[in-house]
Amino acid sequence: MFYRESGDFKKTYQDDSQTFPIKFDRRRYYVVMAIAFLVLPMFMTDYFANAMMIPFLVWAIAALGLNILVGYCGQLSLGTGGFMAVGAYATYKLMTSFPGMDMFSVVLLSGFVTALVGMIFGLPSLRIKGFYLAVATLAAQFFLVWLLNKVPWFYNYSASGQITAPERSIFGIIITGPHASPITGYLFCLILAVGLAWVARNLTRGRLGRSWMAIRDMDIAAEIIGVNPLMAKLSAFAVSSFFVGVAGSLFFSVYLGAAEVTEAFSINVSFAVLFMVIIGGLGSIFGSFVGAAFMVLMPVLLKNILVGGFGWPTDLAAHLEFIIVGALIVIFLIVEPHGLAQMARVLKEKLRLWPFPH
């Protein structure tokens, strides 16, 4: 009934190798896109856009970036917070140095700056692996945050070291700053998230993605069959950092509007993104989105039910939030160690046979 393949003939190789080969899947994807781009903006409240959808999209981009590095290339990284900070501060410097620049250029350029920084910190990955690499990237996290906090040039010598996003626009539509409508902020993030997910999907099934996966599965074997580990690992670090940099840039400019490096991009951020990737599913584009949704939307939802719905004290609700989200993470990982994306895959397999499994 669902995901029915019979009668869905492919006549060209292109058709056969498309992302959603099953017609039902493809249509579902178009429906989701239509809802995201056309329906949601019509019915969205400011709160829904600002406090739920924008952070969800931003974290999804960050999770996508880390998923490329950890899930596809197998290089464990704990430097996500530091790289997001680089993206945010690059955005701030670009916004204040070139007031005429449009936001797309600012965000993408910040991504490139972060990619460069990410490549430098990816160099140790040629020599060290696994947990040792995690420790090396942890050093990147602490070093970058320290640097951005220490050198006043990065925050334009402001008294408190805070950076504030000025008002910037694209084609006259305000994207950042207090006068920006949350809907435009949402659409801006959505365009970038969908575009980057499309890029990630196509990178991962192309030559580059295959070389990453070869390195992940067995680096010596990959080297023997002709994969250049230097290129593969550094490109994974560059692409991953680009995504993470874009996420940091949006996190600062569209979502928060002002940031302080020690608070907004602390080690907790690195862990949160890693959890998103693990809960969502390593090596899955869809998993990055589900993982981000779980980690971002669940606490807000719980808060609204416990405080807004039941009228419980806020401190009790905050503690319960931690307990419930923590317990859910453990339960999910016990039930399905490969993440929510694997759950969706299993469900899909079941649905393909439903209602006649035998």
**Residues in the site for another protein, rule: CB under 8 A?**
45-47, 50-51, 55, 96, 149, 156, 158-162, 164, 166-167, 177-179, 255-260, 262-264, 266, 300, 303-305, 307-311, 313-315, 317-319
Give the whole-angstrom CA distance, residue 21 versus residue 267. 40
Query: Minimum CB separation from another protein for residue 151, in Å?
Result: 13
| Radius of gyration of the CA atoms of the chain, in A | 21
Phi-psi region of 7 (alpha: psi -120 to 50; beta: other; left: phi over 0): left
Whichever of 215 and 273 has its CB closer to another protein, that residue is: 273
By beta-carbon proximity to another protein, the closer residue of 93 and 216 is 93
User: CB 162 → another protein: shortest distance, Å?
Assistant: 5
Residue 94 makes CB contacts below 8 A (sequence gap 6+) with 101, 106, 109, 110
For tokens 């002002």, name the residue.
Answer: 258
Structure tokens at 146: 């320290």
d(CA 295, CA 25): 25
Q: Which is nearer to another protein, 258 or 331 (CB)?
A: 258
Which residue reads 């840039």 in tokens? 249
To another protein, the closest distance from the beta carbon of 318 in angstroms equals: 4
- Taking the least distance from each CB to another protein, the nearer of 278 and 317 is 317
**Which residues in 237-254 are b (16+ Cβ under 10 Å) and which e?**
bbbbbbbbbbbbbbbbbb
Q: Which is nearer to another protein, 122 or 182 (CB)?
A: 182
Phi-psi region of 9 (alpha: psi -120 to 50; beta: other; left: phi over 0): beta
Q: How far is the CB of 240 from another protein (least distance, A)?
A: 23
Report in angstroms how near the CB of residue 264 gets to another protein at its nearest.
Answer: 6
Nearer CB in complex with another protein: 12/160: 160
Nearer to another protein, 8 or 167 (CB): 167
Query: 22 or 174: whose CB is closer to another protein?
Result: 174
User: Shortest gap between Cβ of 83 and another protein (angstroms)?
Assistant: 18
Q: How many CB atoms lie within 10 A of CB 287?
A: 28
* Residue 134 CB coordination number (10 Å): 18
- Min separation Cβ 134 and another protein, Å: 21
Q: Using the 8-state DSSP alphabet, how is residue 153 labeled? A: G
Residues in Cβ contact with 59 at an 8 Å cutoff, skipping those fewer than 6 apart:
247, 272, 273, 276, 292, 295, 296
Q: In whole angstroms, how close is the CB of 107 to another protein at the nearest point?
A: 19
The whole-angstrom separation of Cα 58 and Cα 273 is 11
Distance separating alpha carbons of residues 31 and 211, to the nearest angstrom: 33
The least distance separating another protein from the CB of residue 303, rounded to whole angstroms, comes to: 8
Q: Cα separations (Å) of 311 from 45, 48, 51, 307, 322?
A: 22, 20, 20, 5, 18
For another protein, the closer of residues 249 and 266 by Cβ is 266
